[in-house]
Amino acid sequence: MSLPKPPLRKLEQAFGYTFNNKQRLQQALTHRSADSQHNERLEFLGDSILGFIVAEALFEQFPEVPEGDLSRMRATLVCGKALAKLAKSFSLGDYLILGPGEMKSGGNRRESILADTLEAMLGAMYLEANMATCTEVVRGWYAQTLTTIKPGQGQKDPKTRLQEYLQGRQMPVPEYEVIAAEGQAHNQQFTVSCRTEIFPEPELATGTSRRKAEQQAALQLLQKIKESYGHDA
């Protein structure tokens, strides 16, 4: 028997917004393993909204910084790892609605699920509020980080870091391939392989877009390099 979930008001307080439509909030918290009315469409919407709000904040804060550095800083702030860290600070894992298999395998702690659910909540907030409200909430999440983030090499996304690591060792660039794409066109789950000369077996990762799956596969390979060779890539 699963333990009862804490009151939603605690999540809303941490998130920064009280939902009028609790049914939509429940949908935002529902993983595809639990119900056909799941959160992936809301996550798609929230992903776009989040990217815009963070891009606008960086554009305003760094008026002299070129596009490449702005893109890398945005990628750092909205990547799965950063969003999962935010979600954990909200105790979001305690509220996830998961199917029995995902629950048993620790889905409430999986970074990809936490990140996607946070984006779904943002999408749900946008639908019942407005862009100004979303902007206020999201900028509140990043208020401290935006005061310390700086342009530079440390902001590169996982795919760029992996490619530069390989090129620096005269190795071919990674090869990404879509292994599977499940679901309808507006609601797909992609499985991508990333093959390099470093390891004999390709790395597999999933995501709600091809881009997310490729970034996740690259991140997994970077972590594997660190574990195997004792240094960051």
Binding-site members are 43, 116, 119
Distance CA 105, CA 97 (A): 14
Provide long-range contacts, Cβ within 8 A and 24+ apart, for 162-171.
Answer: 162/194, 162/196, 162/218, 162/221, 162/222, 162/233, 165/222, 165/225, 165/233, 166/196, 166/197, 166/198, 171/196, 171/197, 171/198
φ/ψ of 205, rounded to 5, equals -150, 155
47 a catalytic residue = yes
Annotated binding site for Mg(2+), which residues?
Answer: 43, 116, 119
119 in active site: yes
The Cα 185–Cα 14 span in angstroms is 33
- Pairwise CA distance, residues 19 & 135, whole Å: 16
Which one of the listed residues 12, 40, 47, 157 is annotated catalytic? 47
Ordered strands of the 189-195 beta sheet: 175-182, 189-195, 203-207
Q: Where are the alpha helices (DSSP H) in 79-190?
A: 80-89, 100-104, 111-128, 131-141, 143-148, 158-167
Q: Which of 119, 157, 203, 214 is flagged as catalytic? A: 119
Angle among Cα 58, 93, 191 to the nearest 5 degrees reads: 75
- Hey, which residues are catalytic here? 47, 119
